[in-house]
Structure 1
Amino acid sequence: MPSLPAAEPCNNDELIRRNRGFYEPLWAGANLVEPSRFNTWPLLQALAHEAPRRLEVAPGLRPRLPLRGTCFVDLSHAAVQRLRASGATAVHGMIGALPWRDASFDLVCALDILEHVADDHGALAELARVAAPGARVLLSVPLHPQAWTAFDDCVGHCRRYEPAQILALLAEHGFVLEHSAVYGMQPSSPRLLALAEWFLDHQRERAMWWYNRVFMPLGLHFQQPLRWREGLGDTDGVDEVLLRCRRAG
């Protein structure tokens, strides 16, 4: 299935409804996973240590920056409550209207977010607004519209990006790409994905139980190490990339 064409833009209200329908029940029944358990931690730990003012956007219960000393914002009330209960500073909000002043942060992290919003230009403009000149900005996006599958629909994606498209979008909003890492994965079996979609549609509570207690722990166990590479690098066959950018001053 191809990415949505420009003549048929994503409907913002429908995207919010779809994402809330998927993630609110997911986080309501999930445990918070510490940032140190993810394969992003070796890459982000030093960056976080060097940045006294940090923001992570829409982490759910899978934050990648340290809980202490980081500001979190999420659309999910369940996620915000759980983050607060774990000692984090968390507020309810959306990437398109961040409740902070200009140039408030030295490190901004927004993983797996841009593909979920109708106005990705507006989202990047907000990230640029709250990032101080010279701040590091971490993003991740899925690549290649021709690689669209039912998984993208299932998790509430609006688009996949062509490599040249995401580079142009970053430059337009004042982000200089420094490094990237091959990142993320999605189910490769159409039958397994179809089964998962059926359970999500017909037995959502049971599906969320299996995800949180079986598939998520297995995914953490089998994570592969991540490595930075200069620029965007070769993207042939790459499903998703983690991008390390600097906010131009």
Structure 2
Amino acid sequence: MPPPRPAESRSDAELVRVNRGFYESLWAAAKLIGPERFNTWPLLRGLAAAAPRRLEVAPGLRPRLPLDGTCFVDLSHAALRRLHASGARAVHGMIGALPCADASFDLICALDILEHVADDDSALAELARVARPGAHVLLSVPLHPEAWTAFDDFVGHCRRYEPARIVAKLALHGFTIEHSAVYGMQPKSSRLLDLGQWYLIHRRERAMWWYNRVFMPLSLCFQKPLQWHEGLDHAQDVDEVLLRCRYRPAAQPSH
């Protein structure tokens, strides 16, 4: 098992290339799946209804917030075209330089993003910039560097987080974790993972067809219900977590 590659070892340009190469192919052959189809919907529906100004960063074609009334920012032109065709407001951009005004949003969703960027502090600073004080911010991250696999590297991950590290890093930017939920699990079969990766490398078009037409629909049918837990104390054996944070900026010093 290769060790995790530190963020400093991968430039933003390299990460953009890796992520664009993987996800642009994925979204070019995929259909948009509405947020109500995902097991995140029961947890996010009430938050979305109570937030008049919403942002979702890099949803691809798997948005978790309502299409109506949410601003979507994504790097993939294929995803943006399909979001536009569904009536969504979607603009091109990256988490490190969001095309949004300061203090614009009451609810921000950025799932499976932080592990993909070299400078996660800059990404969190951008989320803090566009969040209103008191805003809810939803993030998901993979945990435990020792759980690293070749697939993490293949899909463009920079890192996995130790639970204490992500708590401290979020706090530095004004985010407090209020609740978390077990969000994803590493496949138990390394052989199956290796087979899937081989097909993605050597038979990309065929692998994407099977994923979009067979495996993704099946996975939607077998999703497990998610449940909020207070804080992040339950994450010792968890592969990935969904975090519900509250943004409370530090008070500015008076002059």
Of residues 185-194 and 128-137 in structure 1, the stretch that sits farther from structure 2 once superposed is: 185-194
- Maintained 8 Å contact 2:151/2:193: yes
Report the counterpart of residue 243 of structure 1 in structure 2.
243
State the TM-score, normalizing by the size of structure 2.
0.95
Per-residue deviation, residues 38-78 of structure 1 (Å, max 9, x unmatched) = 00000000000000000000000000000000000000000
Cα distance in structure 1, aligned partners of 2:6 and 2:176: 27
Give the match's secondary structure for 2:211. helix
Report the counterpart of residue 2 of structure 1 in structure 2.
3
Give the match's secondary structure for 1:20. helix
- Runs of 4+ residues over 4 Å off in structure 1: none
Cα distance in structure 2, aligned partners of 1:146 and 1:38: 28
Report the counterpart of residue 36 of structure 1 in structure 2.
36
Q: In angstroms, what is the RMSD of aligned CA positions?
A: 1.0
Per-residue deviation, residues 16-56 of structure 1 (Å, max 9, x unmatched) = 10100000010000000010000000000000000000000
Gap runs ≥5 in structure 1: none
Of residues 35-44 and 200-209 in structure 1, the stretch that sits farther from structure 2 once superposed is: 200-209
Give the match's secondary structure for 2:184. coil
- Maintained 8 Å contact 2:185/2:238: no
Give the match's secondary structure for 1:160. coil
Report the counterpart of residue 113 of structure 1 in structure 2.
113
**Amino acid paired to 1:132:** R
Per-residue deviation, residues 179-215 of structure 1 (Å, max 9, x unmatched) = 0001113322111111111111111111100000111
Give the match's secondary structure for 2:227. coil
Report the counterpart of residue 54 of structure 1 in structure 2.
54
Report the counterpart of residue 252 of structure 2 in structure 1.
none
Please list, as runs of the form range in 1=range in 2, the aligned pairs for 1:180-199 lying within 5 A after superposition: 180-199=180-199
Cα distance in structure 2, aligned partners of 1:150 and 1:189: 13
**Amino acid paired to 2:174:** G
Cα distance in structure 1, aligned partners of 2:3 and 2:243: 23
Give the match's secondary structure for 1:183. strand
Give the match's secondary structure for 1:82. helix
Please list, as runs of the form range in 1=range in 2, the aligned pairs for 1:128-147 lying within 5 A after superposition: 128-147=128-147
**Amino acid paired to 2:32:** L
Cα distance in structure 2, aligned partners of 1:226 and 1:24: 29
1:162 aligns to 2:185 (yes or no)? no
**Amino acid paired to 1:178:** E
CA separation of 1:5 and 1:85: change in aligned 2, threshold 3 A: closer
- Maintained 8 Å contact 2:6/2:159: no
- Maintained 8 Å contact 1:151/1:186: no
Give the match's secondary structure for 1:118. coil
**Amino acid paired to 1:230:** E
- Maintained 8 Å contact 1:150/1:193: no
Cα distance in structure 2, aligned partners of 1:119 and 1:131: 19
Of residues 174-183 and 9-18 in structure 1, the stretch that sits farther from structure 2 once superposed is: 9-18
Distance apart, 1:112 and its partner CA:
0.3
Report the counterpart of residue 68 of structure 2 in structure 1.
68
- Maintained 8 Å contact 1:177/1:243: yes
